[in-house]
Amino acid sequence: MLPVLSLIVLIPLLFSAFAFLTKTREQARVVALMGTLITLILTLYMYFSFDSSSAAMQFEELASWIPSLGINYHLGVDGISMPLILLNAIVIPLLILFTWDDVRSTPNRFYGLILAMQGAVIGVFVSLDFFLFYVFWELTLIPLFFMVNIWGGPNKRHASIKFFIYTHVASLVMLLGIFGLYFAAWDQTGVANMGIAHLMSHFPMIGSGIARDAIFLALLFGFLVKLPIVPFHSWLPDAYAEAPTAGSVLFILLKIAGYGIFRVILPMLPATGTPDMMITILGLLGAVSIVYGAFLALSQKDLKRMVAYSSVSHMGFVALGAAGLVALSISGAMFQQFSHGLIMSIMFMSVGVIQASTGTRVINDLGGLATKMPKLAVIMMLAFMASLGLPGLTGFIAEFMVFTFSYVNVPTFVILALFGVVITAGYHLWAMQRTMFGVYNGKIGEVFDLSNVQTFSMAVIALLVLYFGLNPSPVLDMMITGSNEIVSLMAAMGV
């Protein structure tokens, strides 16, 4: 059997090394495009061979790695991880095309880091061993740090260091939680095993409820900071705003934190010492993030920072849907991750084009761009409408499922979060009106519309936003199967 999971991790990493060795921009971008297209072809093969009705791990690979420590090379994919792998495999080659005409210093490093990021992120999604999971988790920090630090804006050093410190410290706290699980399971069985499923199955057997809560909160903290969620979000606007456009899109595709909540946190939640308190924490943080993030976005004068804060708000839906604890609310949270990756990719690409063309991101300095940039106006409008939850687009599907089905178990938090929807509509419509419509501001000079490769890249993603908004089943069906399995694991844990 073709080791497709190993290939979709190793090919981006291998082509990353090739890209670093290239001498010219043309060589670097061709190598990058080839690597990402091969990864896309393998991912599509896996997607069309995937059984959406089965909750079992598929395309599984297992080999002993460090037997004395119970560490194995164990890979697999299911309905939780498959849509996120597909998201990355589709968007990243389009991102390569989007940056095709960019003139950057050291293009070999630029494209090499994009490929390295893709391999590391997919590695997180397919790892079924906690050691391997953590290795790939930490590897994602490196390309993003250098992407911001080398090609970022005026405050790039501050933003990159802040991002690295925040997320690395959170990862170390998460590592303590992993060690807690590992040694507790070893003490119970006398066998060393770092398998995710193995460690989670022994979590309820830890005698102390306080110990279970401590392990759970350590893992949850690591995921929430990376998501990020209020009040752990302050690294995000700086990192997103200072990153180059490609870096901002890579941040958006970094869905490993939400994935960790579905894969690890939810199945463990019923076995914690105080499950009701943990549900309350998750639901409250989700609702507050939706509302507070929306207010922060509304107050921004910088278009890119507004989009960044809107991302904080939208990640609140992931936490709120997870707190709903029913299969369809969890599926809605999963679909929010998929939808958010598509929509925000377009939004950050749009901001990048506006900044490159006008030299500014200040909303009040723009205006009337639709008359000069009609192609951008159409695509950007679709993305903004999807982000505010217009029916027929992916954002509506995710938000509808989260609100409707989370109400069953956390109605108070759903009602609170509904206020955020009004604010979200407000700042999206205000920003579009100020940037694209009205009288053109002649002070910004002549501007240029999307190039052909930019139009193609953004239009493909926009069509996917429309397609999955009208027909979510191709990814939603596997998400629902995965969510049903999560609910079953939660029941087995002690509910």
Amino acid at 11: I
Other beta carbons within 10 angstroms of residue 118's beta carbon come to 31
Q: Which residues contact 45 (CB under 8 A, 6 or more apart)?
A: 4
- The predicted pLDDT at position 2 comes to 85
- The predicted pLDDT at position 171 comes to 95
pLDDT tens readout for residues 293-320? 999 999 999 999 999 999 999 999 999 9
447-460 core/surface letters (b: 16 or more CB in 10 A; e: else): beebeeebbebbbe
Structure tokens at 17: 């090394």
- Domain boundaries along the sequence of the chain: 274-495
- Pick from 211, 181, 221: which is nearest to 198 by CA? 181
pLDDT tens readout for residues 407-417? 999 999 999 99
Residue 441 pLDDT grade (very low, low, confident, very high; cuts 50, 70, 90):
confident
187-209 core/surface letters (b: 16 or more CB in 10 A; e: else): eeeeeebbbbbbbbbbbeebeee
Determine the Cα–Cα distance for residues 438 and 421; give it in Å rounded to an integer.
25
Q: Is 23 exposed, middle or buried (0-12, 13-18, 19+ CB in 10 A)?
A: exposed
The one-character DSSP state at 230 is: T
Q: What angle do CA 367, 373, 376 make, to 5 degrees?
A: 105
For β-strands 58-66 and 71-77, DSSP reports them as antiparallel
Distance of CA 361 to the CA centre of its chain: 24
Question: What value does the mean pLDDT take over residues 345-367?
Answer: 92
- The predicted pLDDT at position 439 comes to 84
Determine the Cα–Cα distance for residues 429 and 436; give it in Å rounded to an integer.
10
Determine the Cα–Cα distance for residues 442 and 367; give it in Å rounded to an integer.
9
Residue 207 pLDDT grade (very low, low, confident, very high; cuts 50, 70, 90):
confident
Token pair 């929807």 is at which residue?
Answer: 421
Structure tokens at 85: 């792998």
Q: Which residues contact 183 (CB under 8 A, 6 or more apart)?
A: none
pLDDT tens readout for residues 67-126? 999 999 999 999 999 999 999 999 999 999 999 988 678 999 999 999 999 999 999 999
The overall average pLDDT reported for the chain is 94
Reported as half-sphere exposure (CB side, CA atoms, 13 A), residue 103 has a value of 1
Question: What value does the mean pLDDT take over residues 379-399?
Answer: 95
